[in-house]
Structure 1
């Protein structure tokens, strides 16, 4: 099930790279840029994470916090952040429940075959907890700039 603009963002509470639980309600004092990605330290996911990190100051100037979510463990996230010097929060959704609730997990085509997996997606969530902008099936390179330009 895919979300639509104006929908209430599905609630979540997940552990970050330091094993601290972060809930959506902890973040919405600002706009939340929530992006779902398949796997830490893979080429496309690294490009996307580095792009968000490179523009983190610009996101903050526009009153937004950037949060990445993948099925990887908190330990994997910590290594990813350290290895790539990432400057934003990564949350661990090991059972893919949050990704599913956002329509960011399901059937997709990979190398010509239909598989289940994370569908690279991003959401801008307003301070009222509602979805303001949706990006489904995006390309990693240049996506962070597209999100920034949408704010």
Structure 2
């Protein structure tokens, strides 16, 4: 099983489509801080809370010249509906081929009710303007997570 990346590692580049089918590359944000968060599924309670919390704090992140990008394996159409339904302001990218999910080591074996399956481990990365991972949050608990990420950004930037 591939380990997730660690602080000090170069953040792997990727190009994935946003809700409109527009390709977005991590390298396009070089020179800015990037909050990259991986989440299991659109419209589930934890994922909705996380996306709404990051959206609510987006102005504070923007003041620190940071962007927020969420990635799941959901389709562009699913992301578009999720964004509209919850008035989200963060960028959501679709990774149905698991390109970034695997590069960041968050596509892993999970267990629930005695069955094993592959899925996304909720993980966040804070990437500095040079493309280096400065902080990793593994197996994220959603409550107050967006605030903790913002606090860390404020300390490091």
- TM tier, shorter chain? over 0.9
| C-alpha distance in structure 2 between counterparts of 1:111 and 1:101, whole Å | 28
Q: Shift of residue 2 of structure 1? A: 1.6
Give the equivalent residue in structure 1 for 2:36. 34
| C-alpha distance in structure 2 between counterparts of 1:94 and 1:58, whole Å | 30
Give the equivalent residue in structure 1 for 2:124. 122
| C-alpha distance in structure 1 between counterparts of 2:5 and 2:122, whole Å | 14
Q: Shift of residue 110 of structure 1? A: 2.8
Give the equivalent residue in structure 2 for 1:47. 49
Q: Which runs of 4+ in 1 moved over 3 A?
A: 111-114
Normalised by the length of structure 2, the TM-score is 0.92
Q: Which runs of 5+ in 2 are unaligned?
A: none
Give the equivalent residue in structure 2 for 1:73. 75
Q: Secondary structure at the match of 1:79?
A: helix
Q: Secondary structure at the match of 1:55?
A: helix
Q: Secondary structure at the match of 2:9?
A: coil
Q: Shift of residue 33 of structure 1? A: 0.2
Q: Which runs of 5+ in 1 are unaligned?
A: none
1:8 aligns with 2:15: no
| C-alpha distance in structure 2 between counterparts of 1:86 and 1:56, whole Å | 10
| C-alpha distance in structure 1 between counterparts of 2:20 and 2:30, whole Å | 20
| C-alpha distance in structure 2 between counterparts of 1:110 and 1:143, whole Å | 23
Number of aligned residue pairs: give it. 151
Q: Shift of residue 115 of structure 1? A: 2.8
